[in-house]
Amino acid sequence: MEGAAMPESSDSTAPPLLARLPGLRHGPVLAPLLSALARAEEQGHTGLSLRRWDPHRGPACLASLREQLANDEDPGDRPLVLVDGDWLSSRRAWQHECRLASALAQRASHTLDQRWNATSAKLMQDFLPPHSADQAQARAVATAIGHGLSLITGGPGRGKTWVAGLIVALITALESARHLRICLAAPTGKASARLRQSIGEALQRFVAAGLIDQAGMERALAWTSTLHALRLHRDASQLNLLIIDECSMANAALLGSCLDRIPRDCQVVLLGDDQQLASVEPGRVLGDLAALGSAAPQPALAAWWRQYWSSDALPLGGPAAAGNDAGDEGGDDAGAPHPLSRARVHLQTNYRSGKSPVARFGDAIAAHGDGTWQDLLSTCDDHLSQEAWIARRDCGSPLQLIDHLLSRRRPLLQRLTQAEDPGPALESFLAHWLVVSCLRQGPLGSRSLAQLLEDRAAHRGLIPWRDEQGHYPGRPILITRNQGDVHLRNGDLGILWPDEHSRWQLVLRDEQGGQRREALHRIAAWESGLVMTVHKAQGSQASEVDLIGPGDDQPQHPLWTRELLYTAATRAQARLMLHASLPSLQQAITTHIQRHSGLARALRRPWVKSVF
């Protein structure tokens, strides 16, 4: 199946838009067209291609609409923009995309050729010896130190954050006379905390080897932030280096506003996996950036590479830049490589668990189901005693599913609910427990399953006691809405713990890798974190993951797609249990989410040739 079907929308959104377009003739095309635009936004697109919309409407009607929008001399408050006579989008979405495209092009075009010198070549040989280095990783580091903006993509275990740590260490060494202000950021708090932990582990190795000092490492790890907090931070204008992880979760408005807040000479490194689910908001920022491909490097970098690697062959950073779909991108400069294509590197080698079944399963999904994924599955419980495995079982009823979960997860749940100290309990939960569902509502939705799991665990004595609100020590809590007054972000995870007055507090990781507490009564929106949706699990990883499908009675659910399956599977570091039938998994792997956006068009043509 080429694209996932999405629910239809009524025409109820058309009248408000029509009222704001008083100068247009409201003929037989405009109202259904605006309804189609509203449906497109619900499906994750940021706009609508007129030539793809409805070929049966008649060329004359569409030509008339194009003429009205393009010749509008006084748009006023009108919310639509028509790009190249074809791409219809809301004014706000197009402005966000153009602002981001312009910021990306400007930063990627800025190079620091002076960084590619004998000193950096020597440092690279110390940090990353050529005879043992992965060429793609070395190319990523070399590209990043000399570009104002670089993009490093790849699946889990490819070494993205290790490379980011190496970039931080190398730039710190090159700028040893300055105290650089560095920020490690991600869309969610848990993702930024994991980024800090991963880069901290890499930097610790460099400190032990004497390549950087302890003070340099501490400065590099001093500022960790979410993207929402960064764009409001008073010191954002003082940054020298910004590392952003999990870029697949960011939309154009969020990423663009962050880039606007930092200085023009601040270096930016974007990290992400373009195979994952895109942002919950319309658009697919990382997918559009990855589609630019890779182009030949800067001449200065090619010359420097010969000095470092003692070779004339500097490999491309990934798939070569190719022709793009004119329906989404187009533009007069469509044939010229985008500046970012020179600064993009794709990492392919899996260093975390390259031979494990989970890693191979993720690779098979990313390859659009190459036929090997079924060979990796096991329905036999004999494999569950091994260190790394992937297994499958039919979903069954909700009660059967929960009983199976409790039989396998009993020791970990007991450590969580019967702990004497919240610190180790929180760390154990975050490291080892992750149960995700593709649905939020319904019998197999995350909410219903979390409640059933708690009820069954209490019935079996795994939860010693619960108060009248269902709270108990160690209860996992998932934040479901951003709340700036208590510095909580949508997707943050913690556990409940009573204070000395028996009042419930939420214990969470702070942005520096430690722990903090927040009174539960101050938190506006939360739910149980025992089971969550796949979207909420983005940015998390655990040693063992359970993925719950939509049920055998609805294998063609529109949310059950290849991107969702890949995102869930790659949350697992060693063990993965799939609660879905083989036909259901086959359906998911062959169902691909398609998102059309104006960003691809704006990236090819940063200047806006459109009438608002």
Query: Phi and psi dihedrals of 229, rounded to 5?
Result: -70, -35
* Cα–Cα dist 81/611, whole Å: 6
Q: At what angle do helices 135-146 and 299-309 cross, to 10 degrees?
A: 130
Position 583, amino acid:
P
The region that residue 502 occupies, defined by phi over 0 for left and psi between -120 and 50 for alpha, beta otherwise, is left
Model confidence, pTM: 0.86
Q: What is the pLDDT of residue 4?
A: 46
Q: Hey, what's the torsion of the CAs at 464, 467, 469, 475, to 10 degrees?
A: -40
CATH node for 110-321+340-349: 3.40.50.300
From residue 124, how far is each of 129, 211, 441 by CA, in Å?
A: 7, 11, 51
Rounded CA-CA distance 246/4 in Å is 23
Beta-strand runs (E) in 486-604: 493-498, 504-509, 515-519, 526-528, 532-533, 542-548, 572-579
Q: What angle do CA 70, 76, 77 make, to 5 degrees?
A: 110
8 Å CB contact between 238 and 213: no
Question: Per residue in 104-145, pLDDT tens?
Answer: 999 998 988 888 888 888 888 888 887 677 888 888 998 999
* Strand ranges, E, within 158-223: 182-186
Separation of alpha carbons 149 and 153, rounded Å: 13
Under 8 Å between Cβ of 540 and 246: no
Yes or no: say if 452 and 398 are a contact pair by the CB < 8 Å rule. Answer: yes
What is the strand order of the sheet 80-83 is part of? Answer: 47-49, 87-90, 80-83, 610-611
Could you tell me the residue ranges of all domains in the chain?
29-93, 110-321+340-349, 357-590
Total number of residues shown for the chain: 612
Q: Biggest alpha carbon distance in the chain? A: 74
Residue 308: the pLDDT is 75
CATH homologous superfamily for 357-590? P-loop containing nucleotide triphosphate hydrolases (3.40.50.300)
Residue segments in the chain with a per-residue pLDDT below the cut of 70: 1-29, 54-62, 64-78, 131, 310-318, 320-336, 352-355, 369-371, 378-386, 511-513, 555, 605-612
Element of type H or E holding 224: strand 224-226
Would you tell me how many other CB atoms lie within 10 Å of the CB of residue 432?
19
Are 187 and 226 in contact by the 8 Å Cβ rule? The answer is: yes
What is the residue-wise DSSP string for 497-519? EE-TTS-EEEEEE-TTSSEEEEE
Q: Are 142 and 148 in contact (CB under 8 A)?
A: no
Q: 194 Cβ partners below 8 Å, 6+ apart? A: 186, 245, 539, 540, 541
